Every structure is written in C-alpha cells, then in structure tokens.
Chain A
Amino acid sequence: MNPLIRLRGVEKRVPAGGAYHYLLRQVDLEVDRGEFVTVMGPSGAGKSTLLAILGLLDADWTGEYHLDGEAMHGLAPKRRQALARERIGIVFQQYHLLDDLTVAENLDIPLSYRNVKSSERAALVADTLDRFGIVAKKDLYPRQLSGGQQQLVGVARALIGRPAILLADEPTGNLHSSQAREIMEMFRRINGEGTTIVQVSHSAENAAYGNRVIELKDGWVVSGGVSARAGMQ
C-alpha cells in the first residue's frame, strides 16, 4: 500500500538578491497512515516551510508530492484547496483563534467552508465541544481563556472537519509544560483514534509522544525521512 504522504526531491527556493536562497533541498519523505511523527531541527531549518507544503498552503515548490497516492505537484489550485479542506487540519503555535468569535463560533468556521448542512454543523460543534471537554467554555471569547485552553480549541477546530492528517507547527511553543503535556496527551488520543499526525517541535519530551523523528537542517532532511517500516521493505 502507498504511504499517506510521499515526497520525492521536493525543493523550495526564494529569490534573494539576484540568486536563489534554498529553504528546502531534495526532501524525500514518507509518512504512513496512523503515524505520529515529529519534525525537529534548529531554528531556520525549514520546518515550518515543510509543514506549509504538506498542508497544501504553499504550492510554490518543485519536486513530487503524493497525498494518498494522488499527485499534488501541478495540481489546480481549486482541487488543491478542496483536498486541503477535506484531508488536512492545522494547529498553529499562536492558536490563531478569531478574537471576535466565541469558542463555538470558532469551531464552526471550518464547517462553514465545507458542504455541511447547518443542522449537522450544530451537532458537530456540540460533539466536538464534548469530545474536548470544553462545553462550559463554548460561549466565551478567546481572550477569556488560558493559553492551554485556547490551543485546545485550536486543536478541536483543526479536527472538527474529521481530517485524515493533523499538522501542528510547535503547538505547545507558547504553553507551560503542564499545558503542553495536556495537548500532547490529546494528540496521542487522536492518533490512537486513527488520525495521522505530523508535528513540529523543539522538545524531545513532545517528540517522545510520537513514533518517529524527522530531522531537518539547513533545508536538508538529515534523518528519519522514511519510516522504519518503509525502510524495511
């Protein structure tokens, strides 16, 4: 069976004073269904850049990217966006909740951009609030929550559309260690329920929740680009 994510020779460069500056070089990478991998590396290594490509937010790169067997390179923007909506949920380090919306309304945003009936939407929001234990907070605004609670909402929002893959860029970067652990526990549970997770983290403790570490340095994959199982084949 194909890996869920398969990158071959992916490169990302930006113009810099007449020449090019490479952010990613010859990235080969595979992630199987059900994996929970952690991308690590020094600051500026290209971790966020890689995650944006995986999350289909960035289409400006070269190389091959197959998502569930379908080629993402050279894909029409509409189809790419549709796939992103369908398959991928994203958690941000800065939570990126909308300040003027309540918790419940923030959860509803991704649904409003998918073909979900409004009756179903309400049910899904209620379900999700319940699943993440934030029913009591549903009418509060983001600024009325602690950082950990805000990120919990962020995770809930990323998952409400039932994506196959959860991408998280330093999800605990702004949190205290106890709050961070809570989020990681949540990730483990989600992963156990079948969601594939790719997270960026600086912390070995966080990485320990996952099953594999991909190491990036200066845009190169230094180690762990291919899963143990794939490697054995």
Chain B
Amino acid sequence: MEHLWQDLRYALRTFAKQPTFALTAILTLALGIGANTAIFGVVNSVLLRPLPFPEPHELALLWGRYPDFGRTSTSAPDFRDWREGVAAFEHLSAFTQGSINLAGGGEPEQVRGARVTANFFQTLGVAPALGRTFVDGEDREGAADVVVIGDGLWRRRFAADPAMVGRTITINDRPFTVAGVMPPGFTSAGEDELWIPLDVEDPGYPRRGEFLTVVGRLRPGATLAQAQSQLDAVVGRLARQYPETNASIQGEVVSMQDDLVREARPALLIFTGAVALVLLIACANVANLLLARASARQREVAVRLALGASRGRLVRQLLTESVLLAVIGAGAGLILAAWALDALRASGTTFVPRLAEVRIDWMVTGYALALAVGTGILFGLAPAVRLVSAYGLPAALKEGARGATAGGLRLRNALVLGEAALAIVLLAGAGLLLRSFVRLNQVDMGFDPRGILTYELILPTARYPDEATLVPVIDRLVERTRGIPGVNAVAVSSDLPLESTNYLTFDLEGRVETTDGTGDVQPFRVTPEHFAVLGIPLRSGRLLAESDDASAPAVAVVNEELVRRFLGGQDPIGRRIQVSDGADSAATIVGVVGNVAQEGVSAAPYAQVYQPMAQGPTRGVRVAIRTAGEPLAIANQARAALAAVDPQLPLTKLRTMEDRLAGSLTQPRVSMAVLGVFALLALVLAAIGIYGVLSYAIARRTREIGIRIALGAQPGDVRRLVIGQGMRPVAGGVLLGVGGALLLTRLMQGLLYGVSPSDPGTLAGVALLLGAVALFATWLPARRATRVDALEALRAE
C-alpha cells in the first residue's frame, strides 16, 4: 500500500514532466474506453438488464408463422385454441395496440393504448399503484366499460388526481370508468398509456383475422421448449381441423426479453465487437508511446536496478503508471460516453428498445474502471517487461539507446501491422453498411418523396362530432391549402407511406385463398389528390375523384399486390371489397395503382386499399402538400391556411416527406453512423500509430540516413526507403485485415441490404483508403528524413 501510494505520486510527477505524452495517451484511451463504455451502457440496459416485470424469464410471446412470410400476430379463434392447448402457461393473455382518442379532463388528444384481455396485468405480474386492474369477465360482452391508465397520463392529464379511481373519461366517444392507475415505469410494449378490455370470446372473429399479440407466463418449472412443443401440437391439430385457413400456419414461442431485442441484438453485438477493436488499436498506440518513452528511460531503470530495486518492483511501478493513465483516460471516456449516448438518444432512433433507460450508472462506471485496469495492464506490460529485462545492466549504464532497441522496433512494427488489420476490419464493416444504406436509398418505394410538405392533425370530437362535420372541414383545408402560390396538389389521408401500422381483414368478391402470407390489407382513407401528391401511378381503371363523396356509391382503389395475391391476377375492376373497419357497406373497386413500400423500405409489398376520405373520414389525418419549389418555403402559408379554416387546430410534425422517410431508415442510418464513427476513429488512431512508429524509426536511423546521403542517396531514394519501411507492416496488416474482414463481416449479414458481406469492391476500397491514409502518415516522416543533414548526422557519433 505504501509502495502503491509512492508509485502513484511518482507516476503523476512523470506525467507532469511529459504533458504531451500523457495527454496523447489519455486522449487515445479516452476515445477507446469511451466508445466501449457507451456501447456497454446500451448493451447493459437493452440486452442484459431484465425486463421490469417480476420473474421476467417466465414471460414469453407467442406468434403465428407463415413459412414464406415470417411471423404474424394471431387471430382471436386461434388464440382461444392456443390458450386451451398449451398447458405450460399459467396465464396466456392477448392484446392489440393502437391510437385511442381520449376526452375528458382537458382538450381531446390521441394517446397510444392497448386493448387487452382481462388477465393481461396478471400475466405480467404488475399490481396497480391506485385502484385495481381488470377482473375475470370484465372483458366480456356486456361488462361495464372500465379503463386502466398509466402513471404518465395520470400525472400529465389528470394532475395526479388522488381520487382518479372512479372518475369517468371519454375514450373513442364512449364513457369509461377508471379502474386503476399503474405504477411509474410500467409499460406494455411500446409507449402505451392506457388499457381497455378486449373481448376475444366474440364468435364473430374470423380465423384469419390476425391482430393479437399473445403474451404468456410459464408455470413454475415449465420451460419454453415444453411450451413450444405443446404449441406445435395445437397448431398441427388446427391445421387438420381448419385446412382452408390454418394449413400453413405454424407457431413460435419466444422469450419476451429476446423478442424485444430481436432487431437490435445483432447490431449491438456488432457494435460491441467494433468498439473492442477500437480499444485494441488505442492500446497498440499507447503501447507504442510507452515503447518510445522506454528508450528514454533505460538509464533511469538501469540506475534503479543498480541501486537494488527488484525487477518485479520496477514492473509494478511501470504498470502503476500505465494503469493510472488508463484510469484517467476512463474518466474522460465516461464523459465522452455520456455525450455519445445523448447523441444516440437525440438521433430519435427507435430500433434500439429501452434507449430512454440507458444511463451511465454505477454498473457502467464500474465497467469503465475495470476496462481501464485491464487495458492499462494490457498495453503497459510488454513495454515494462522489455524495459526492465531486455537491457544488460552495464551496457545500459554505459551506452546510449542504439542497438538495444532493435527488438523494440520489431515489436512496434508488429503493433502497426495489428492496428492496420483491425482498422481494415472496422472499415470493411462500415463500408458494407454504407453501401447497404445507399442501396436502401435507391430502392423504388413506389412513390416520389421529393417536394412534399407534410404535417399531422387531429380533428377532435368536441369540435367535429361526426362525419357530416368532418368532411367539410377537410374539404375546406384542401381548398385553402391548394390556393397557396407554388402548391401543385394537396392530399389529406389517414396514413402516409411507411408509417401505417394498421392492418385489417377484408372480404373480397372472388377472393382466392392464399397461403403465402397473411390475409390482411393496409387500409388508407385519402382525398382524391393523394395519388398525384405522392406520384403513385395508376395501372388500370380510374383514381378516386371529387365526385366520390358521401352521397355517391362507395368506391375503392387497390394496389397491384392485392390483385396478385388475392385475385390471382384477375381483373378487379367492378368487384366488391369490404374492409372490416366498421364501414357499413362494401365498396366497388374502380382502379388499380402501383405498390407503395410499407413497413421499412426493404420489406416485401403488402396488399393496400384506398377509399375516399369523403366516404369515411378519420380524425387523425396527415396533410401532404406537393410544392413546385422547396417544401419548407411554404410552411408558414400552410400554417396560415389551417388557421384560416380553424384557428383552434394544433398542427404537429411539420416536415418534408423526405425527413419523414429518414425516420424509417433510422436503423440502417444509425448502424452506419455508429460503425462509421468507430471506423473513422480506428483509421485516425492507426494513422497516428503509423506516424509515431515511423517518426521514432527515423530518429533512430538518422545516422544511417546520413551515411546513405553521404554515399550519394538523393531525396527520392531516402523517401522510398522510409515509406517502404513504414508501408511494409501496413501492407501486412491490410492482408491480415482483409482475411479477418472476410471472416467477420459474415456476422453482419442481417444488417446488410443488397450487398454481399464479402463484397470485393468494398474490401478493395477500404484497403485503398487505409493505404492512402498510411501513405500520408509515412509521408511526413519521410519528408523529414530527406532533410537529414548528413554532416550533422555523421558528426553526432
């Protein structure tokens, strides 16, 4: 302990004497440890920390699965059969999420909520903070309308009213009695803020109307595997019993935790690997710095050894220095990590779940400290041992540095080789993501997002109680907005492309039963110019027209995918279609339009139906304005147009269509940005490493270069010599790195789109990039070498 204290004081004094060395090392380590800490913070919250429910490992989600299409939600009849047949679950509940119109206690607003079976809260095992949750049978037809609300909604809208239980609030135009308030921090999937009962016993639900997410709690002692095999048995029985609807549906049981992070896990694991590589490069650089310093410290070490210090004691002292460096670096790294996490949150990415919970807590701090001690030993040990053991004592006391450090140079070259290899791997990863991202941006989405201004609006029940009042206000808004100079077309719709999460079952005249996907469509309510605004092409028949109003016969336009999948390509014009959205009558199909991308730009097309807004207006609407010039230039006029129609209507999310789209590209964009930052870091660190090693090598070779110049070497010869020496380990590193990249990039297959993990263009590109940067890093020392004064160098003996 006494020794440690002494060593620490001595170490601090050494740093103060060589502030440049200490700062460079600390900054390098701060970058490496900071990146690792930030990613660990995310991984810890997202992948490692259990869900905020009691016994979270007992919770599982159950999904249907079509062999060619992937997982789907479940229909009510299937859910009922699963509940009967899968005994491994103590509770099996179902819910469906959506937007809910809320009135009472303030201005009407739209909140996210879920309809849940009565045993939903029991399944999750969470008790309310106030009142009660639902009781058995409360979800059945005829029971009183009750609602459970979340802590956030309770505080925000109802001022944390302690007498909340028993109050009446209006949900979707019906009065509901508040049964309970959930504790802070409780949320079902997503940001749900209120829960109302869902009756799954209603015999009217069709077998192929999938809208339920099923969550179960295992009996004590039961396993997921048991649940899976029981589900397989039930699903098999249903397939035999209902071959026309259930023949190709399988079932899947997934632990809730795994399910939540399903999308984020591969990216997070890749990030974890990437930051580990960055840290290794940082360590190599600091080891290089220490080696350079080691030559300057030989004499000190030799004197200490001569005065009787043991080698072990000296190594300990040197390691104290390097660990101290790393700990200071970790301190700075924690600050960088906090910044990085803020930036990640600010990016608004949603593909990493529970991002809001991520913070620098004691776990993360402890991780950073442990990392510091580990890396301090990792980068400090080799230089320390070399320093203490490599030099014969008498020689070190008598002689200068030369000769003795030849081995040091070999070690340093090996470090450069390693750095180059690691940098190539990271660059390859980032390069592949970049190419994927470019490809994704080039995907034909079926509409043209350029030159469109959009915003969102809710038409509250209080002001517009029914369809008779909704339709005129929408009409007036369209008319007003179209009057703005520079506006070419205006559409009001229930949803814009890539944003709808609405899927409904439907009936279609002459429908062909299919097995290659779900039986759902995506329904849209739109005003006639929707197709013009978005540039969705007409394939046959006609588009919707102004004359398709409430007094005209109901009409619909469908997309090509619907015709292909549900009509086997037969002519759809004139057929009747009825979407189960509460509309009373079936609509006649009058036209076919192109497919529009939905659910992420790279997903397969989905069947879509467009019906006139005038024949069934929605309260939550999106306004899309096609402009001749820059869309944001008319933002104020668009606001004014709305205010002229109704000054009380607040408008939200005013932005261009392209900005909205950026949202659906966040996962690839964030992945690319994160890995890109790490790769850039690696590149810079590697360049610094190459530069450092070469500068040191040049200093050591001054005499040799002087001799060569005296013997006739010209500047070009000297440059070639130095650059050759510098690039040799880099070339080795590039080869090794390309090999490593070929092995490792395969792990990121799932993050890539339209590019092979072993894409030769990307690999060649990153090899060239690193080569160019390395060449630049060698260029400066090479130029310095050509300026060696031969006379000076030869005299210096």
Chain A residues contacting B713 (CB-CB under 8 Å) are 113
**Within the complex, which residue of A48, A94, A109 is in contact with B711, where a contact is CB–CB below 8 Å?**
A109
Interface status of B714 (Cβ within 8 A of chain A): yes
- C-alpha spacing A84/B791, complex, angstroms: 14
B714→A98 contact, CB < 8 A: no
- C-alpha spacing A79/B430, complex, angstroms: 50
A-B contact pairs, 12 of them (CB 8 A): A52-B791, A55-B710, A57-B710, A58-B791, A90-B710, A90-B711, A96-B707, A96-B710, A98-B708, A99-B403, A110-B712, A157-B711
Chain B residues contacting A92 (CB-CB under 8 Å) are 794
Interface status of B717 (Cβ within 8 A of chain A): yes
Hey, what's the 0/1 contact readout for B674-712 against A, CB within 8 Å counting as 1?
000000000000000000000000000001100110111
Chain B residues contacting A90 (CB-CB under 8 Å) are 710-711
Hey, what's the 0/1 contact readout for B703-744 against A, CB within 8 Å counting as 1?
110011011111001000000000000000000000000000
Interface status of A114 (Cβ within 8 A of chain B): yes
**Within the complex, which residue of B712, B790, B797 is in contact with A113, where a contact is CB–CB below 8 Å?**
B712
Closest partner residue, chain A, to B403 (CB atom): A99
**Within the complex, which residue of A94, A109, A113 is in contact with B714, where a contact is CB–CB below 8 Å?**
A113
A-B CB proximity, top 4 nearest? A113-B712, A85-B712, A110-B711, A96-B707
A94→B712 contact, CB < 8 A: no
> In the complex, how many residues of chain B place their beta carbon closer than 8 angstroms to a beta carbon of chain A?
16
- C-alpha spacing A99/B711, complex, angstroms: 15
Closest partner residue, chain A, to B713 (CB atom): A113
A102–chain B nearest beta-carbon distance, Å: 15
Interface status of A43 (Cβ within 8 A of chain B): no
Interface status of A203 (Cβ within 8 A of chain B): no
Where the two chains meet, the residues of A that have a C-beta atom closer than 8 Å to any C-beta of B are: 48, 52, 55, 57-58, 81, 84-85, 90, 92, 94, 96, 98-99, 109-110, 112-114, 157, 161
- C-alpha spacing A189/B403, complex, angstroms: 36
B794→A84 contact, CB < 8 A: no
Closest partner residue, chain A, to B707 (CB atom): A96
B403→A114 contact, CB < 8 A: no
A145–chain B nearest beta-carbon distance, Å: 16
Q: A57-B791, A92-B794 are in contact. Are A81 and B714 (CB under 8 A)?
A: yes
B791→A114 contact, CB < 8 A: no
Closest partner residue, chain B, to A86 (CB atom): B712
A224–chain B nearest beta-carbon distance, Å: 25
Q: Which of A55, A57, A114, A161 has most chain B Cβ within 10 Å?
A: A57
Hey, what's the 0/1 contact readout for B784-797 against A, CB within 8 Å counting as 1?
00000011001101
Q: Interface of chain B, helix or strand or loop or mixed?
A: helix
Where the two chains meet, the residues of B that have a C-beta atom closer than 8 Å to any C-beta of A are: 403, 703-704, 707-708, 710-714, 717, 790-791, 794-795, 797
- C-alpha spacing A57/B797, complex, angstroms: 17
- C-alpha spacing A99/B405, complex, angstroms: 13
- C-alpha spacing A96/B791, complex, angstroms: 12
A109→B790 contact, CB < 8 A: no
Chain A residues contacting B795 (CB-CB under 8 Å) are 48
Chain A residues contacting B714 (CB-CB under 8 Å) are 81, 113
- C-alpha spacing A110/B704, complex, angstroms: 13
Q: How many A-B residue pairs have CB under 8 A?
A: 38
- C-alpha spacing A76/B390, complex, angstroms: 47
Closest partner residue, chain B, to A60 (CB atom): B791
Chain B residues contacting A114 (CB-CB under 8 Å) are 712
- C-alpha spacing A114/B714, complex, angstroms: 10
B788–chain A nearest beta-carbon distance, Å: 12
- C-alpha spacing A202/B790, complex, angstroms: 24
A23–chain B nearest beta-carbon distance, Å: 12
A156–chain B nearest beta-carbon distance, Å: 12
Chain A residues contacting B790 (CB-CB under 8 Å) are 57
- C-alpha spacing A52/B710, complex, angstroms: 10
B794→A109 contact, CB < 8 A: no
B791→A98 contact, CB < 8 A: no
Chain A residues contacting B403 (CB-CB under 8 Å) are 99
B704→A98 contact, CB < 8 A: yes
A81→B712 contact, CB < 8 A: yes
Chain A residues contacting B711 (CB-CB under 8 Å) are 90, 109-110, 113, 157
Chain A residues contacting B717 (CB-CB under 8 Å) are 112-113
Chain B residues contacting A57 (CB-CB under 8 Å) are 710, 790-791
Apart from A109-B708, A113-B717, list 20 A-B contacts with CB within 8 A. Answer: A48-B795, A57-B710, A57-B790, A57-B791, A58-B791, A81-B712, A81-B714, A84-B712, A85-B712, A90-B710, A96-B703, A98-B704, A98-B707, A109-B711, A112-B717, A113-B712, A113-B713, A113-B714, A114-B712, A161-B712
Chain B residues contacting A161 (CB-CB under 8 Å) are 712
- C-alpha spacing A161/B714, complex, angstroms: 16
- C-alpha spacing A46/B797, complex, angstroms: 18
Chain B residues contacting A85 (CB-CB under 8 Å) are 712
- C-alpha spacing A126/B49, complex, angstroms: 75
Chain A residues contacting B710 (CB-CB under 8 Å) are 55, 57, 90, 96
A53–chain B nearest beta-carbon distance, Å: 10
A45–chain B nearest beta-carbon distance, Å: 16
Closest partner residue, chain A, to B717 (CB atom): A113
Q: Which of B711, B713, B714, B791 has most chain A Cβ within 10 Å?
A: B711
Q: Which of B704, B710, B713, B790 has most chain A Cβ within 10 Å?
A: B710
- C-alpha spacing A114/B790, complex, angstroms: 18
Chain B residues contacting A112 (CB-CB under 8 Å) are 717
A96→B794 contact, CB < 8 A: yes
B395–chain A nearest beta-carbon distance, Å: 14
Closest partner residue, chain A, to B797 (CB atom): A94
Closest partner residue, chain A, to B716 (CB atom): A113
Chain B residues contacting A98 (CB-CB under 8 Å) are 704, 707-708
Closest partner residue, chain B, to A52 (CB atom): B791
B430–chain A nearest beta-carbon distance, Å: 39
- C-alpha spacing A98/B794, complex, angstroms: 12
- C-alpha spacing A166/B391, complex, angstroms: 40
Chain B residues contacting A113 (CB-CB under 8 Å) are 708, 711-714, 717
Q: Which of B403, B712, B713, B797 has most chain A Cβ within 10 Å?
A: B712
- C-alpha spacing A178/B794, complex, angstroms: 26
Closest partner residue, chain B, to A97 (CB atom): B707
Closest partner residue, chain B, to A161 (CB atom): B712
B1–chain A nearest beta-carbon distance, Å: 47
- C-alpha spacing A92/B708, complex, angstroms: 13
A114–chain B nearest beta-carbon distance, Å: 6
Chain A residues contacting B708 (CB-CB under 8 Å) are 98, 109, 113
- C-alpha spacing A57/B794, complex, angstroms: 11
Chain B residues contacting A84 (CB-CB under 8 Å) are 712
- C-alpha spacing A112/B717, complex, angstroms: 9
